[in-house]
Amino acid sequence: MNKFVNELKEGYWEKYYPDGQLIFKGNFLNGLRDGYWEYYHYNGQLNYKGNFLNGLREGYWEVYHYNGQLESKGNYVNDNRDGYWEGYHSNGQLRYKEYNII
């Protein structure tokens, strides 16, 4: 865990806030985020989760408000929003629906 290879981050990593709460967990490949990642708010609630490919967001992602409610969900291609996305207020009510074409 948390290792370097040729001065680049490699393999599974975790990082923590000063109080010991998890900030993120995920894998690096050649110094770039790769595969499934999770990031957390300071209060321990999930902030966002999704996949990276060569350091760029790729595939389905979910983002969460500080209170744990879903904030948005949709797909990324090459770090750009692609296709149908939905966004929500912190009370869970729908805020927007959009369709992105890249």
Residues facing 25 on adjacent strands:
14, 38
Supply the range of the domain harboring residue 70.
Answer: 3-100
Q: In the numeric block, which tokens belong to residue 20?
A: 């010991």
Closest CA to 12 of 1, 24, 22, 23: 1
The 10s digit of each residue's pLDDT in 37-92 is 999 999 999 999 999 999 999 999 999 999 999 999 999 999 999 999 999 999 99
Task: Specify the length of the chain in residues.
Answer: 102
What is the Cα–Cα distance from 56 to 61, expressed in whole angstroms?
12
**Could you tell me if 100 and 82 are in contact, meaning their C-beta atoms sit under 8 angstroms apart?**
yes
* pTM recorded for the entire structure: 0.92
Give the CATH number for residue 31: 2.20.110.10
Number of domains composing the chain: 1
Distance CA 48, CA 41 (A): 9
